[in-house]
Amino acid sequence: MREIVFDTETTGFSFKDGDRMVEIGCVELINKVETGRTFHAYFHPERTMPAEAQRIHGLSDVFLSDKPLFHAQVEALLEFLGDAPLVAHNASFDFGFLNGELTRCGRGAIDLARMVDTIVLARARHPGAKHSLDALCSRYGIDRSHRIVHGALLDAQLLSQVYVELSGGRQIGLGLVTEIIEVQQSFQPDAAPVQARPARVFSASEAELARHAAFIAKLTNPIWGTVQGGNEASG
């Protein structure tokens, strides 16, 4: 199953009030395994960046001044998203900006039925706990030491690990190893097929059993003989 974990950075809290999306980062998962494929882009917001928003993500007017407008990247973005479910943290916020930008450039909005909200999953799995991305990374032992400011691709990469944990952890099912091999091969079409190792034999050989019997025969008054004799006497 193909899924896309994504995050956005914006100029504020509401597209309807004139805020715009300035960055998007997407990570591809297949069967809850990262494939290594990502999509990342910055956009010129066609407005100034409020100081409070810049403090969160560090994206300034100067940095964004030469970045393309959203409509210049929309084809590549939609191709990457495909028809996969879209996973985000507080997903209604990210969907609001993504669909706002799509509608603004004449594209259809993404169906909200494709939305997967990791905050909803976290609240169900850990009721009463903190559900921020930082808190969930701490809970699951995910390294976020390089997260100095918010960044869409970095946050999507962290969220993809959190999402896997919220979905049941690394061992989603008994077929996980086979699925990983299939995913790796699908993105390395020229690679040689991966051969599974033959099952290991752990039973003792006849020679090992003979050596063990010879060793036991040399023991004087073994403790198990004493216990057995005591049980027979008491019986």
For the chain, the domains span 2-186
**Assigned architecture for domain 2-186:** 2-Layer Sandwich (3.30)
Please say if the pLDDT value at position 35 is more than 90.
yes
Tell me which amino acid residue 98 is: L
Q: Which of 12-21, 108-117, 193-202 has the lowest mean pLDDT?
A: 193-202
Structure tokens at 225: 């003989």
State the average pLDDT over residues 190-198.
54
CA dihedral 182, 186, 187, 192 (to 10 degrees): 80
pLDDT in tens, 204-232: 778 888 888 888 888 887 776 665 555 54
User: Which residue out of 71, 126, 150, 212 is catalytically annotated?
Assistant: 150
pLDDT in tens, 65-89: 999 999 999 999 999 999 999 999 9
State the average pLDDT over residues 167-176.
61
Biggest CA–CA distance in the chain, Å, is 95
Query: Would you call 150 a catalytic residue per the annotation?
Result: yes
Give the separation between CA 46 and CA 106, rounded to whole angstroms: 17
Please say if the pLDDT value at position 10 is more than 90.
yes
Residue 52 labelled as part of a binding site? yes
Please say if the pLDDT value at position 235 is more than 50.
no
Residue 57 labelled as part of a binding site? yes
Residue 61 labelled as part of a binding site? no
Confidence category of residue 181, pLDDT binned at 50, 70, 90: very low
Q: Which residue has the tokens 């039973």?
A: 203
Please say if the pLDDT value at position 200 is more than 80.
no
Residue 9 labelled as part of a binding site? yes
> How high is the pLDDT of residue 190?
52
